[in-house]
Amino acid sequence: MKRESTRSADRTRSLVIDGIRSAGEISRVELATRTGLTEATISTVVRKAIDDGLVVEIGHGVSTGGKRRTILAVNSSARHAVGVSLARSRIALVLTDLSGEVIAVRETEGARDAHPSAVTERLAREIAHFLGAHKVDPESVVGVGIASPGPLDCAVGELRGLQPGPLWRGFALEERLENLTGLKVLLDNDATCAALGDYWTTRRDAPPPVAATVYMADGIGAGILVDGRVFHGSSSNPGELGHISLDINGPQCHCGAQGCVEVFASPSAVAAAAMRNPGLVASLELSDDPDVDRRTFEAVATAAISGNKAARGLIEASARYLGAGIVTLSNLLDLDEILLSGPGFTTAGEIYAETIHGMLQRGTFMRGIHSVTVKLSDLGVDAAAIGAATLVMQHQITPHSAINSRRVNAT
């Protein structure tokens, strides 16, 4: 009985802090309305949160005839988290505070073909240096979040696919990095992290019922939120938008299927198409080194928005293939909102958004009932890393919103 009481109290505390965080600024009365808790419960929980340094009183609201209401906010500097985006071509580290505000960003060499043990040891050193350089109190750091391409197994903290390289398959990333850093480490899909990061850092009265964040980096995935909660499926591998087959007789995909969205729409697909165009190769001085696919893609994207017709044609073709996959995703999930996030959209995102919006207007089954909005994320190239920091912050500070969002190891 005591355990149930403690669990209930923890959930109430989590709910209150999350209500304050998501509102940005809010009074106790408004918080009671938002959470459905009594004002007496709110007062008790808020008093303890203030004592713990997580919440602060920042002033008073406008008087409506009676006593002015005291306004609450989270104490952003009370907690910090490190987020890591792990990829073959690039590793990014971000340091965020409790509100999700980015304090610092650090970019380092990607995993490439190095052994996972060597990369993880380097990453642990980078994290220690990163925190030290910004004079962060170690006691305020709640942990490290890792965003990686799937497939992965969150139950044991291991990668199960070929990204960022075949040597990572089955590598105990969470356990190894925890041992090296002494910090809590959580691994999740990069698209899921990007979706969570955008949700955590956006102030809104209520989340959309169903939303998807389409994340494009080396590959393409979708993070799915239902009423603000991450949808993880049975093994933390939902939303593999890049592996929807558009042509069952199409080119072979690395996943084993044929004609997948990634085969036609990914940055590497655009880079490969550009390399087949001698005019673009010459005018943009492109390289056929597979490790610089992202730079080739960026060169094409930059040329596209600068008026190069051949480059724009390649980006628009990528957007149409991606749009076909997104229409399918929207029809399956009856989406309200789609967010385009990640490095693949930072340069030519407007072209993608315009093309995909038009395809949704014409192709969604529910278009006569409601529209589906398409927006570009504000988080930029480091969306997954920011979301990874959010992931560990959510689990440590507002666990009620994360309780059902990760697969639990039955053992």
Instruction: Based on the fold, state whether residues 17 and 119 are members of the same structural domain.
Output: no
Instruction: Based on the fold, state whether residues 251 and 355 are members of the same structural domain.
Output: yes
Instruction: Based on the fold, state whether residues 14 and 85 are members of the same structural domain.
Output: no
Q: Which of 198, 201, 195 is nearest to 230 (CA)?
A: 195
Is 206 domain-assigned?
A: yes
Distance, in Å, from the CA atom of 88 to the CA atom of 110, rounded to the nearest integer, reads 5
Pair 232, 405: CB distance under 8 Å:
yes
Is 43 domain-assigned?
A: yes
Q: Quote the tokens at residue 18.
A: 């999350």
Domain total for the chain?
3
Is 405 domain-assigned?
A: no
In this structure, the strands spanning 373-376 and 337-341 are parallel
* Sequential pLDDT tens for the chain (411 residues): 445 455 688 889 999 998 998 888 999 999 999 889 999 999 999 999 999 999 999 998 876 666 788 999 999 999 999 999 998 888 999 999 998 899 999 999 889 889 999 999 999 999 999 999 999 999 999 999 999 988 888 888 888 887 888 899 999 999 999 999 999 999 999 999 999 999 888 876 667 788 899 999 989 999 998 887 888 888 878 899 999 999 999 999 988 999 999 999 999 999 999 999 999 999 999 877 666 678 899 999 999 999 999 999 999 999 999 999 999 999 999 998 899 999 999 999 999 999 999 999 999 999 999 889 999 999 999 999 999 999 999 999 888 777 554 544 433
Instruction: Based on the fold, state whether residues 287 and 340 are members of the same structural domain.
Output: yes
Q: How far is CA 139 from CA 79, 115, 173, in A?
A: 8, 31, 23
What CATH number has the domain bearing residue 37?
1.10.10.10
Kindly report, residue by residue over 116-173, the tens digit of the pLDDT.
999 999 999 999 999 999 999 999 999 999 999 888 888 888 888 878 888 999 999 9
Q: Quote the tokens at residue 219.
A: 């590959």
Is 210 domain-assigned?
A: yes
Residue written as tokens 């014409």?
362
Domain boundary among 56, 74, 92: 74
Domain boundary among 15, 44, 74: 74
Instruction: Based on the fold, state whether residues 247 and 329 are members of the same structural domain.
Output: yes
Instruction: Based on the fold, state whether residues 371 and 243 are members of the same structural domain.
Output: yes
Domain boundary among 10, 45, 74: 74
Instruction: Based on the fold, state whether residues 330 and 356 are members of the same structural domain.
Output: yes
* Angle at 356 (CA atoms; ends 22, 228), nearest 5 degrees: 20
Q: Which long-range contacts (CB under 8 A, 24 or more apart) does 9-15 make?
A: 10/399, 10/400, 11/399, 11/400, 12/37, 12/41, 12/45, 13/45, 13/48, 13/49, 14/397, 14/398, 14/399, 14/400, 14/401, 15/398, 15/400
Instruction: Based on the fold, state whether residues 25 and 88 are members of the same structural domain.
Output: no
Instruction: Based on the fold, state whether residues 279 and 338 are members of the same structural domain.
Output: yes
Q: Quote the tokens at residue 206.
A: 């209520």
Is 406 domain-assigned?
A: no
Instruction: Based on the fold, state whether residues 244 and 375 are members of the same structural domain.
Output: yes
Q: Following DSSP, what letter does each residue of 216-238 receive, concatenated? A: ESSSEEEEEEETTEEP-TTTT--
> Taking the model in full, what pTM does it have?
0.90
Q: 84: buried, middle or exposed (CB in 10 Å: 19+, 13-18, 0-12)?
A: buried
User: What is the amino acid identity at position 283?
Assistant: S
CB contact burial 339-352 (16+ within 10 A = b; e otherwise)? bbbbbbbbbbbebb
In this structure, the strands spanning 220-226 and 337-341 are unpaired
List, in order, residues 6 or more apart from 85 with CB less than 8 Å away. 91, 92, 147, 148, 190, 193, 217, 382, 384, 385, 388
Kindly report, residue by residue over 105-120, the tens digit of the pLDDT.
999 988 988 999 999 9
Distance, in Å, from the CA atom of 165 to the CA atom of 159, rounded to the nearest integer, reads 10
Full residue range of the structural domain in which residue 169 is found: 78-189+384-399
Instruction: Based on the fold, state whether residues 280 and 307 are members of the same structural domain.
Output: yes
Is 367 domain-assigned?
A: yes
Pair 84, 146: CB distance under 8 Å:
yes
Q: How far is CA 145 from CA 18, 19, 162, 383, in A?
A: 19, 22, 20, 13
Distance, in Å, from the CA atom of 330 to the CA atom of 242, rounded to the nearest integer, reads 14
Is 392 domain-assigned?
A: yes
Instruction: Based on the fold, state whether residues 131 and 110 are members of the same structural domain.
Output: yes
Pair 286, 275: CB distance under 8 Å:
yes
What CATH number has the domain bearing residue 220?
3.30.420.40
Is 354 domain-assigned?
A: yes
